[in-house]
Amino acid sequence: MQEEESMMTQSAAKTRPAHVSESTVMDIDIYNIPVVDCDVGATWLDIKARAPSPVIWSEYNGGHWIALHGADVKTAFMTPAIFSSTDIFIPPNGSRDNVLIPLEQDPPESLLYRKVIVPPLMPGNLAPVTDIARKTAIELIEGFKPRGGCEFVKEFALVLPVVVFLSVMGLPLEDRDYLYSLAEKSTRPESPEQRLEGHMELKAYLQHYIADRKANPRDDLLSKSVNAIIDGEPITDFAAQQFVLNTTIGGLDTVANLLGFVMHFLAHSPDHRRQLIERPDLINNATDELIRRFGIVGQGRRIMEDTELSGVPLMKGDMIWAPTWMYGLDEQIVADPLTVNFERPTPPHMTFGGGPHVCAGMHLAKREIRITLEEWLPRIPDFHVSGDVVVETGGVTGITRLPLVW
Ligand code: HEM
């Protein structure tokens, strides 16, 4: 089997400000990491082992720090007064025209919006969408099972989150194919410009429904979002649009990518598959363990005042990139971190971030992954990878092509 990596090419110019010591520089471009055996975690642990310091400077993409130790990743997520979310992209956006709300805001502002979406996405409120997710998973699996193979990303991983998103938002399930094509465009871009184009098309799609739910509110997340009262005032049209966009892209790309790594791992590990088939009671904890092992999001933060991380001085204005997976793969935090152990007690991870911006959709995301395991394994217990696998690295790392046969 041949496995290849395809990466997004970003800025080629190298940047190192005078205050950055040469002893912290490593030749790393986060959009061009040669991922070994599709294993992002192992690849980054190798980078950490070779790194000249605990926090390294990358001269690519405008120049920025990278936190390699779990404790430093945690500090970056948990200390918004110093590590601001007003710039989360590397290189920075340089404009607030397409600001994601609440992701690209700091508390207390961001918390005003979170109050609207977090309660409806808590586990106790997810029963209706869980039923739809399960029904969809079964329908998809039963659909391709007789063919003896599928391209997992296109035929399953991207479809399930679209259906879940539509039902959470209260949008028509008939829009599934259309939204899927938009999602594919904004999550599989060849450049940051194309991603922005995808966002614009998503916004155009959402526009009609935003107007409709303002005029005719229903009991769905879209209605709650667009009619929210923010700090005593009705949400503005611009904020409503950016708020809904954040929820949309938050839940499509991420779930699909993590599912890709989960199935890639299981395709290579008959023992783990057998364990879950024989002991379905382990699936809940196994889901957490797989989420720990296969973190996918790396997020930027803007340094707001001179500070230090693990003894490395960072200056006001610098950008830092915090890969969430380095927390759950840090051996100071988790013993034998690369081993997937479904019986590991409460697997510690920051795959959903932490602190004031911790993922609003984490319970839903976990449910989608758990349902996939519960419905796939009894129907297709033995499967393996049958061709080229494509891994993309960057803000959200993912498997974008995963051919499976059984
Ligand atoms: C496996 C799937 C997912 C992963 C790995 C993931 C990861 C993350 C991470 C790391 C953050 C924090 C970013 C930061 O601190 O800058 C975040 C925030 C967010 N996520 Fe997720 N997410 C997933 C699924 C979802 C789903 C299904 C939804 C929506 C239903 C969602 C909606 C959001 C929103 C709205 C935020 C912003 C929260 C805020 O800024 O306060 N995510 N996610």
Can you give the length of the chain in residues? Answer: 406
Ligand 1 neighbourhood includes 373 CB (under 6 angstroms): no
Q: What's the gap in Å between 163 CA and the centre of ligand 1? A: 17
Domains of the chain plus CATH, in order, are: 2-405 (1.10.630.10)
Contacts of 238 (CB under 8 A, 6+ apart): none
The predicted structure's pLDDT at residue 186: 66
The pLDDT score that the predictor gives to residue 395 is 78
Q: Rounded CA gap, 229 and 342, in Å?
A: 43
Half-sphere CA count of 98, side-chain side, radius 13 A: 18
Q: Is 254 in the pocket of ligand 1 (CB under 6 A)?
A: yes
pLDDT of residue 92: 86
Listed in sequence order, the residues at least 6 apart from 34 whose beta carbon sits closer than 8 Å to its beta carbon are 5, 43
Q: What are phi and psi of 170, to 5 degrees?
A: 80, 30
* CB neighbourhood size of 216 (10 A): 8
Q: What is the CB neighbour count within 10 angstroms for residue 275? A: 16
Q: Which atom of ligand 1 is nearest to the CA of 366?
A: 1
The residue whose CA is least distant from atom 19 of ligand 1 is 359
With a 6 Å cutoff on the Cβ, whether 352 touches ligand 1 is yes
Name residues whose C-beta falls within 8 Å of residue 292's C-beta, 6 or more positions apart in sequence.
328, 334, 344, 347, 348, 349, 351
Supply the pLDDT for residue 191. 66
- 110 CB under 6 A from ligand 1? yes
Can you give the pLDDT of all 406 residues of the chain as single tens digits? Answer: 333 333 344 445 788 999 999 999 999 999 899 999 999 999 999 999 999 999 999 999 999 999 999 999 999 999 999 999 999 989 887 778 889 999 999 999 999 999 999 999 999 999 999 999 999 999 999 999 999 999 999 999 989 998 998 999 999 988 888 887 776 666 556 666 776 788 888 889 899 999 999 999 999 999 999 999 999 999 999 999 999 999 988 888 899 999 999 999 999 999 999 999 999 999 999 999 999 999 999 999 999 999 999 999 999 999 999 999 999 999 999 999 999 999 999 999 999 999 999 999 999 999 999 999 999 999 999 999 999 999 988 778 889 899 999 9
Nearest-CA residue for ligand 1 atom 3 is 254
